[in-house]
Structure 1
């Protein structure tokens, strides 16, 4: 799973990144808000971990930016600030977890596990679909019976996102960050067509005005 870590204390951030990488998370480390916002607009992450106190700005601004993009991935704020107003502001802006520094790395692991298990309950499961398809979240493999379907990383990311939101149709603008392209629905349609060509026409359902949905 992909985590964006925004922290401007290099040594502190490196220790967190190394620890999370040892837990098999894919961690992108950034130190400034501008770089973070640029990447957030173009890349999908399962979790955002944001430091509140940053040089030049603060993590609250990045948190607001994530919400403006209508991104639904969970957000964890971490800070040495412990006053109730800071905590209140973080939750009012839409964060899902607030971690006070200093903290033990094991505490961070437990908090992340709780968030991810709540937001992605199927993430460690083998998910079964119609027409004998199955998706292995852990190994990022789509199969039909015992045959592995050859898919690109972007195609796999789209399938994963639709599976994680399997109860509803997902609008095209939710998928823009998955394809690393400009906000143009034609790019989404291209990738949907490619996935259907490698699976079948009804593998992903579409409904005008509502978006796309995996066919369970």
Structure 2
């Protein structure tokens, strides 16, 4: 999944990004409010982690614009503004979650996972198809209880297909959710990941189908 961190504290932003990348997410960072809003309006993200006290444009104004444009994007506010009125204002402006600094990274990661699941209607962290099971918490994949070794990219492609079960997902859409700005991305590489993934999960009674001219899908 692709996550945008909007945080003007570069050290903190790097720390959060490193933790999220450890769990296979593509992470982009921006440190200015106006730049953040332009990115959100132009690019596709699965989660926005948003500070409020930003140069250029306040986080609340970014949030209000995102909601006014009806962009389906989960937003977690991460800020030092922690009194009751500020928390209520943030949630009323359209935030899906509100965390106050200082915070524990493990809690932020857990809240991020919950928001990502909730956005696509998946409350259960486990997704099972055939003999294959995917755990979105520890990122493990098993077939008949036995671990399957996947690269982060292969695991990311599998997650996107499982979260959109029985839906055709184009190579372009997979790339949008799989790669950040700093990644070397190409639609051709998606074909390679799909090919490798098929071989590794073949014993799990799970088929990654190619829908010619449209993309890929896994049937429920």
Provide TM-score, normalisation by structure 2: 0.58
1:197 aligns with 2:193: no
Which position in structure 1 is the counterpart of 2:210?
206
Kindly indicate whether the alpha-carbon contact (under 8 Å) linking 2:129 and 2:206 is maintained by their aligned counterparts in 1.
Answer: no
How far is the alpha carbon of 1:144 from its aligned partner? 2.1
Question: Do structure 1's residue 188 and structure 2's residue 190 form an aligned pair?
Answer: yes
After superposition, where does 1:115-194 map in structure 2 within 5 Å? 115-119=115-119, 120-123=122-125, 125=126, 127-130=127-130, 132-177=131-176, 178-179=178-179, 180-182=183-185, 184-194=186-196
Q: Is the contact between residue 2 and residue 25 of structure 1 (CA under 8 Å) also seen in structure 2? A: no
* Partner residue, 2:48: 48
Query: Which 5+ residue runs of structure 1 have no aligned equivalent?
Result: none
Equivalent residue of 1:151, what SS? Answer: coil
Partners of 1:154 and 1:26 lie apart in 2 by 7
Equivalent pairs counted in the alignment come to 194
Is the 8 Å Cα contact of residues 24 and 152 (structure 2) preserved in structure 1? Answer: no
1:156 and 1:173 map into 2 onto residues whose CA distance is 17
**Cα root mean square deviation, aligned:** 4.9
1:8 match: 8
Whole-Å Cα distance in 2 between the matches of residues 160 and 104 of structure 1? 31
Contact 2:48/2:76 (<8 A) preserved: yes
Q: For 1:89-104, list aligned pairs within 5 A.
A: 96=96, 99=98
Unpaired runs of 5+ residues, structure 2, are none
Once the two structures are superposed, residues 165-189 of structure 1 have per-residue CA deviations (whole angstroms, 9 ceiling, x without a partner) of: 224222222211415443x422211
Q: C-alpha separation between the residues in 1 aligned to 2:24 and 2:150?
A: 20
Query: 1 or 2 for the larger relative contact order (CA 8 Å, sep ≥6)?
Result: 2
Identify the range of structure 1 (51-60 vs 149-158) with the bigger mean alpha-carbon deviation: 51-60
CA distance in 2, matches of 1:171, 1:115: 23
> Could you say if the C-alpha distance between residues 31 and 188 of structure 1 is closer, same or farther in structure 2, counting changes exceeding 3 Å?
closer
